[in-house]
A and B are shown apart, each in its own frame.
Chain A
Amino acid sequence: MHHGKYRFIVGFLTVPLGLYALFVVWPFIQSIYYSFTDWSGLSPEFKMVGFDNYTRLVHDDIFWKSLWHSLLFALVLPPVTIGLALFLAFMINVGGRRRKGGPVISGVRGSSFYKIVYFFPQVLSIAIVALLFAFAYNPDSGAINSLLRGVGLGSVQPLWLGDPGLALWCVMAVLVWSTVGFFVVLFSAGMASIPADLYEAALLDGASRATTFFRITLPLLWDTVQSGWVYMGILALGAESFAVVQIMTTGPGGPDYSTTVMVLYVYQKAFRDGQAAYATTIGVALLVVTLLFAAVVMRLGRRERLEY
């Protein structure tokens, strides 16, 4: 029987583990190795060059630009998105009119409708969202500028994605738009499970709604907020920011590299410029930034766990 058990385990694990090792784990390990070579990716030959790629990285202005933009993504997007989502979720769950005989706090009418609608962008491909907003941002015939003209602000016609100072923020706004709904639903689920008597007690003691939010809701939701924060940061550093920047901004990451983020730079170095080894070096830097970000958020966010 023991024999049968191990044969079964091996039989069931081999294929999934094999696929995963071959296409995910092995490339990860390889990329760190390749970052110490001068591999172009075009020919099979390469030699070890030690830390040359890393030295080059330090002197690469565009790398620093992309790092800065990625950091901006990771530092600005989570608080904005999560703050907005917390606000909306609080409104959904606490903002309801008090009905006679009803509980002291209640959700707004149609709360499930809001949750369903807010989630729409989350199920759409980020590529489609990016395309859609690329049209909306078009300075001449885009929806946003013509809306501005329509309400009498014809003199305000920003270039949006064409303006080096604005492009990055435009791209970030799209990521906020597409992810807020997810967090609203996530936080709503958390808020709904907070017992109503806690609010009742606080309100009886004269606490305002804002106080109840900061003293009751937020502390009890803290674990969820924190993991949401990490999740959003990883997302902002990774695949999602690649799609929005690559699709929405033109050329090499916006006017004058104004929107280049690290993932995009990895992609360009590897698949456009034929510098696979250097690309993996930027990738390693991205990995370090991601891990540091997660570690810092977990560390700063550490609090005593509240039970209820």
Chain B
Amino acid sequence: METTETPAPIPSEPHVTVGKADAPVDGPPRGKREGTVLNVFSHGMLILWAFMVVMPLLWAVMTSFKDDRSIFDSPWSLPDKLHFENWARAWTDANMSDYFLNTVLVVGGSLIGTLVLGSMAAYVLARFDFPGNRFIYYLFIGGMSFPIMLALVPLFYVVNNMGLLNTIHGLILVYIAYSLPFTVFFLTAFFRSLPASVAEAAFVDGASHSRTFFQIMLPMAKPGLISVGIFNFLGQWNQYMLPTVLNTDPDKRVLTQGLVQLAASQGYKGDWSGLFAGLVMAMLPVLAAYIVFQRQVVQGLTAGALK
């Protein structure tokens, strides 16, 4: 609707006649004011919240460059100089490099596993009709709403009995299992939306089912895989509860765990600046990934809640 002069909403006079070109209402000035007041108010509130979001993060970055004394004496002052040694100390002495490596290994392994296994299951559930299809589908997506903590106690002993406790590959397998519900849910919907004709043509041409899947369907599903991949990357990178329970070997700690342990022990050592450097180090990769893949992150994260 293209109107040039839309009358202003005037609450006291509910029935303003819609102004034709020759019958201007006294709308514009009041309309402008009304819009302006609202606009200023909106911006005010929005900036206030943006400030509240960014402030703690900036504060953490700033603190990571300060020395320990000024962290305590004047938490809000700028650093006297940039203490890069905090970062170096955190990276080497506080084992952040090890935690980083562990996290990369665990997340790398689980991400690939989740995408491969999740897309296989989703493909079968989306495109084939067989007895038990619905049941398996609901079994998978049911996992999205149950409290993980309930399963965690027996899970600990399942993992323990298999000799997978405190191992990187054990953690990978568990991460994959707990990432499957959302992944299968998301990708099933995605595979359903892909045209059936392409796969059928390939099949008629003599391609086997698995060949059709790997060479035709998977490449077609790339956008979906990227969305769900980023979603899982963030979730697995940020995972705290599973490693806390299943991974108690100090050498195998992942970043989140390592940082929490560090915070507990730094209380005695007093290396707060190093701890903040570690904290910022752990925040940067996900913030960077988010800024680069912003659109897909939002897509992946909101898809779960919308359905």
Interface residues in chain A, defined as those with a beta carbon under 8 Å from any beta carbon in chain B: 4-6, 8-9, 11-13, 15-17, 19-20, 22-28, 30-31, 34, 41, 87-88, 91-92, 94-98, 100-101, 103-104, 108, 114-128, 131-136, 140-143, 146-147, 150, 177, 180-182, 185-186, 189, 196-197, 200, 203-209, 224, 227-228, 231, 234, 237-239, 242-243, 246-247, 263, 266-267, 270-271, 276, 279-280, 283-284, 286-287, 290, 294
- With beta carbons under 8 angstroms apart, the residue of B56, B256, B289 that contacts A125 is B256
Tell whether, in the assembled complex, residue B147 and residue A207 are in contact, meaning their CB atoms are under 8 Å apart: no
For residue A8, which residues in chain B have a CB less than 8 angstroms away from its CB?
A: 124, 128, 208-210
For residue B100, which residues in chain A have a CB less than 8 angstroms away from its CB?
A: none
Tell whether, in the assembled complex, residue A124 and residue B209 are in contact, meaning their CB atoms are under 8 Å apart: no
Q: Is B250 an interface residue (CB 8 A)?
A: no
When chains A and B are docked, how far (Å) is the Cα of A276 from the Cα of B158? 13
CB distance from A176 to the nearest CB of B (A): 10
- With beta carbons under 8 angstroms apart, the residue of B1, B14, B148, B245 that contacts A238 is B148
- A231 with B140, Cβ < 8 A, contacts A242-B241, A266-B150, A279-B153 known: no
Tell whether, in the assembled complex, residue B283 and residue A271 are in contact, meaning their CB atoms are under 8 Å apart: no
CB distance from B1 to the nearest CB of A (A): 6
- With beta carbons under 8 angstroms apart, the residue of A88, A141, A284 that contacts B71 is A141
Q: Is B199 an interface residue (CB 8 A)?
A: no
Chain A residue nearest to B128 (CB atoms) is A9
Interface residues of B in 248-297 (CB under 8 A from A): 255-257, 259-260, 263, 276, 279, 282-283, 286-287, 289-291, 294, 297
When chains A and B are docked, how far (Å) is the Cα of A34 from the Cα of B35? 62
Chain B residue nearest to A267 (CB atoms) is B149
Task: List 11 A-B residue pairs with CB atoms under 8 Å apart, sorted by A's residue number.
Answer: A11-B210, A19-B173, A27-B153, A97-B36, A97-B39, A98-B31, A124-B286, A132-B60, A177-B52, A239-B147, A267-B245
CB distance from B85 to the nearest CB of A (A): 20
- With beta carbons under 8 angstroms apart, the residue of A96, A116, A146, A185 that contacts B291 is A116
When chains A and B are docked, how far (Å) is the Cα of A146 from the Cα of B73? 9
CB distance from A95 to the nearest CB of B (A): 3
- A206 with B150, Cβ < 8 A, contacts A19-B117, A108-B42, A243-B240 known: no
* Sample of 4 further A-B pairs with CB below 8 A, known A143-B76, A283-B150: A15-B117, A31-B154, A108-B39, A267-B149
- A205 with B14, Cβ < 8 A, contacts A125-B286, A181-B53 known: yes
Q: 1/0 per residue B135-170: CB within 8 Å of A?
A: 010011001011111111111111100000000000
For residue A114, which residues in chain B have a CB less than 8 angstroms away from its CB?
A: 46, 50
Tell whether, in the assembled complex, residue B290 and residue A143 are in contact, meaning their CB atoms are under 8 Å apart: no
Residue of A27, A116, A243 contacting most chain B CB atoms (<10 Å): A27
Tell whether, in the assembled complex, residue A177 and residue B53 are in contact, meaning their CB atoms are under 8 Å apart: yes
Tell whether, in the assembled complex, residue A120 and residue B305 are in contact, meaning their CB atoms are under 8 Å apart: no
- A239 with B148, Cβ < 8 A, contacts A95-B39, A123-B234 known: yes
For residue B263, which residues in chain A have a CB less than 8 angstroms away from its CB?
A: 131, 134, 247
Tell whether, in the assembled complex, residue B10 and residue A206 are in contact, meaning their CB atoms are under 8 Å apart: yes
Residue of B3, B36, B53, B239 contacting most chain A CB atoms (<10 Å): B53
Tell whether, in the assembled complex, residue A128 and residue B35 are in contact, meaning their CB atoms are under 8 Å apart: no
- With beta carbons under 8 angstroms apart, the residue of A95, A207, A280 that contacts B154 is A280
Chain B interface mostly helix, strand, loop or mixed? helix
Q: Is B82 an interface residue (CB 8 A)?
A: no
- A127 with B238, Cβ < 8 A, contacts A41-B157, A141-B75 known: yes
Q: Is B84 an interface residue (CB 8 A)?
A: no
Tell whether, in the assembled complex, residue B14 and residue A206 are in contact, meaning their CB atoms are under 8 Å apart: yes
When chains A and B are docked, how far (Å) is the Cα of A34 from the Cα of B59? 46
- With beta carbons under 8 angstroms apart, the residue of A123, A132, A234 that contacts B56 is A132
Chain B residue nearest to A270 (CB atoms) is B153
- With beta carbons under 8 angstroms apart, the residue of B10, B74, B146, B180 that contacts A28 is B146
Tell whether, in the assembled complex, residue A120 and residue B290 are in contact, meaning their CB atoms are under 8 Å apart: yes
Residue of B2, B59, B151, B301 contacting most chain A CB atoms (<10 Å): B151
CB distance from A206 to the nearest CB of B (A): 4
- A197 with B1, Cβ < 8 A, contacts A20-B180, A120-B287, A284-B150 known: yes
For residue B238, which residues in chain A have a CB less than 8 angstroms away from its CB?
A: 123-128
Tell whether, in the assembled complex, residue A13 and residue B11 are in contact, meaning their CB atoms are under 8 Å apart: no
Chain B residue nearest to A227 (CB atoms) is B305
Chain B residue nearest to A113 (CB atoms) is B50
For residue A94, which residues in chain B have a CB less than 8 angstroms away from its CB?
A: 42
Residue of B139, B240, B263 contacting most chain A CB atoms (<10 Å): B240
Chain B residue nearest to A183 (CB atoms) is B305
CB distance from B104 to the nearest CB of A (A): 15
Tell whether, in the assembled complex, residue B121 and residue A34 are in contact, meaning their CB atoms are under 8 Å apart: no
For residue B60, which residues in chain A have a CB less than 8 angstroms away from its CB?
A: 132
For residue A263, which residues in chain B have a CB less than 8 angstroms away from its CB?
A: 147, 149
When chains A and B are docked, how far (Å) is the Cα of A290 from the Cα of B148? 11
For residue B1, which residues in chain A have a CB less than 8 angstroms away from its CB?
A: 103, 196-197, 200
